[in-house]
Structure 1
Amino acid sequence: MRDDLTKPQPQPADPVALARRELQKALPGRFYKDVRAKPLGDGFALALDGRIAKTPAKHDLVVPTPALADAIVGEWQAQGEKIDFAAMPLTRLAFTAIDGIAGKVQAVTEDIVKYSETDLVCYRAAEPTSLVAAQAAAWDPILDFAATQLDARFVCAEGVMFVSQPEAARAAIAARVAEIGGGMNAPFALASLSTMTVLTGSILIALALTGGELSLFSAWAAAHVDEDFQARQWGQDREATARRNLRFADMAAAEKFWLLLHRPEKRPEEQYNP
């Protein structure tokens, strides 16, 4: 499992961390009464008392779909006397897309693709047999998805020794991520995909989720096979569970963000029992 998004990250592939640092500069008090979305150019802007809201970097807060705009409006309407960005994950992702990704789509795309070189699901335990079986049950279908749907055939290794993946497999993943990063909604789609990739440590899990092959819960479980095995052996750690729940909240928000961009008719999964 890679570092979570609650800590500052040095890699451009973790744009959510960059946006969170910017949010420390945000106004703490609620300064508006009316919140609504209104068409602006090719997108939909958040309007606060009739004025277009700004991102931390002073760009207009404009998103590409009305479903996403309405969901962000709901977050702003729900604020009390203070603006709590911790309770506004869709807004944070929109900030990430606009301030952190729009100007460097290619760089973020490349950073996401790098995960295909050391993807979580390709590194398997040699023992015990129960862990080997759990990994196979969770990860083999993901590799099958990559092979059949993305034409990307990966190889696995035991332990942590690096295994070089076939160039064709890496190229296929690069093509799919480039496709996601090449559309009109590229910064927003990449904000979601990057978040899911970083949180799971796997571009293959993220692509299986966005491709409809995995549910949110099955994707999250696949990313935590080893952690769950250890918890069954030694019991759960309260602090680790709390950190995992925070990461899941980011994961659920990223999936919801993706659905509101691509499939607004699908109801996101929002309940989670660790």
Structure 2
Amino acid sequence: MRHTGADARTTLQKGFHEPVEKPKRFYKTVETTPVDGGFGVLLDGRNLRTPGGVRLVLPTAALAEEIAGEWRAQGETIEMADMHATRLANTATGAVPNSREATAGQVMDYAASDLLLYFAEEPQALVERQTEQWGAVLLRAEEEARLSFVRAAGIIHQRQPEESLERVRQIALGLDDFGLAGLAFGAALFGSSILAIAVQRSWITAEQAFELSRLDEAFQQEQWGVDAEAAERTDRLRSEAAALERWFKALRT
């Protein structure tokens, strides 16, 4: 079954509107500090931990500062939905280490039905836009990452070369836990492992990847307009893309 950006975003949005009592802010000061193995975040002098009780140890000072900034920005209540780096760090620390193969497999699964491989059949203006913009990313993936895929038209599933899918899996496994967590999140956000790899490798920005992932949606909006609910959803997902950009930048710093 082919993943689409809409499919992935629906998955990401599950639970967004469920009523949940927000925790009150329980700390005054937020600091970063070197710790064994990396960098930590301190709330009132105490180590920030994952929901499972594991101390957060970040690989770079920049990522620790990104997370500290999220905690400093909280008001009377803690808005976890807005703390993108904190949630991703919790995943990288608490979930990915024991499920690296499964996580890499998820990235490979998105590649097997990648959004960028399914071109529209019509209208011609959309086909030309996809060919120009998606084609540039696909060409770079082939030239620089040895990822060669079969392009399809329409929604009928197209089987992809096993060697390319395995290459995607190996790219994912070649990252550390924090890089792998970001790559898996990006694949789900964009509906495309190719776009996630492009962002992780700095071929394009996450903002550019997000816009590429919604070419069809943007084209339809140009024709028929934008409703308020769609605009709100797009803004929310764009903020997730911006957070992913900062995540990978912080990992490289």
State whether TM-score is above 0.5.
yes
1:53 aligns with 2:48: yes
Q: Which residue of 2 aligns with 1:6?
A: 13
- Identify the match of residue 108 of structure 1 among 103, 111, 123: 103
CA distance in 2, matches of 1:61, 1:45: 6
1:187 aligns with 2:194: no
Task: State the one-letter code of the partner of 1:111.
Answer: Q
1:238 aligns with 2:228: yes
1:196 aligns with 2:186: yes
CA distance in 2, matches of 1:85, 1:167: 39
- Identify the match of residue 224 of structure 1 among 211, 214, 218: 214
CA distance in 2, matches of 1:126, 1:87: 38
Contact 2:118 2:155 in 1 (8 A): yes
Q: How does 1:199-214 map to 2 (within 5 A)?
A: 199-214=189-204
State which drifts further: 153-162 or 95-104.
95-104
Task: State the one-letter code of the partner of 1:91.
Answer: T
Contact 2:187 2:196 in 1 (8 A): yes
Structure 1 position 236, deviation (Å): 1.0
Runs (4+) of structure 1 moved beyond 3 Å? none
- TM-score when scaled to structure 1? 0.84
Structure 1 position 165, deviation (Å): 1.0
CA distance in 1, matches of 2:32, 2:41: 5
- Specify which structure has the higher proportion of helix: 2
Q: Which residue of 1 aligns with 2:250?
A: 260
Task: State the one-letter code of the partner of 2:217.
Answer: E
Q: Which whole-Å deviations, capped at 9, do the CAs of 1:171-206 have from their partners, x for residues lacking one?
A: 2222211212xxxxx221122111111011100011
- TM-score when scaled to structure 2? 0.90
Contact 2:48 2:55 in 1 (8 A): yes
CA distance in 2, matches of 1:200, 1:142: 14
CA distance in 2, matches of 1:210, 1:120: 17
- Identify the match of residue 249 of structure 1 among 235, 239, 244: 239
CA distance in 2, matches of 1:87, 1:159: 36
CA distance in 1, matches of 2:142, 2:53: 43
Q: Which whole-Å deviations, capped at 9, do the CAs of 1:228-261 have from their partners, x for residues lacking one?
A: 1111111112101111111111111112111101
Count of aligned residue pairs for this structure pair: 244
CA distance in 1, matches of 2:81, 2:106: 26
Contact 1:195 1:251 in 2 (8 A): no
Task: State the one-letter code of the partner of 1:206.
Answer: A
Q: How does 1:15-54 map to 2 (within 5 A)?
A: 28-54=23-49
Q: Which whole-Å deviations, capped at 9, do the CAs of 1:1-55 have from their partners, x for residues lacking one?
A: 22321215xxxxxxxx9xxx9xx68x71222222111222101111112111221
CA distance in 1, matches of 2:96, 2:165: 22
CA distance in 2, matches of 1:51, 1:132: 54
1:96 aligns with 2:91: yes
Task: State the one-letter code of the partner of 1:220.
Answer: F
Contact 2:207 2:241 in 1 (8 A): no
CA distance in 1, matches of 2:210, 2:49: 33
Structure 1 position 93, deviation (Å): 1.3
Structure 1 position 221, deviation (Å): 1.3
Structure 1: 5+ residue runs without aligned partners? 9-16, 181-185, 265-274
Contact 1:131 1:229 in 2 (8 A): yes
CA distance in 1, matches of 2:166, 2:100: 18
Structure 2: 5+ residue runs without aligned partners? none
CA distance in 1, matches of 2:223, 2:73: 41
- 1:69 alignment partner, SS class: helix
Structure 1 position 210, deviation (Å): 1.6
CA distance in 1, matches of 2:96, 2:170: 19
Q: Which residue of 2 aligns with 1:163?
A: 158
Task: State the one-letter code of the partner of 1:90.
Answer: A
Q: Which residue of 2 aligns with 1:139?
A: 134
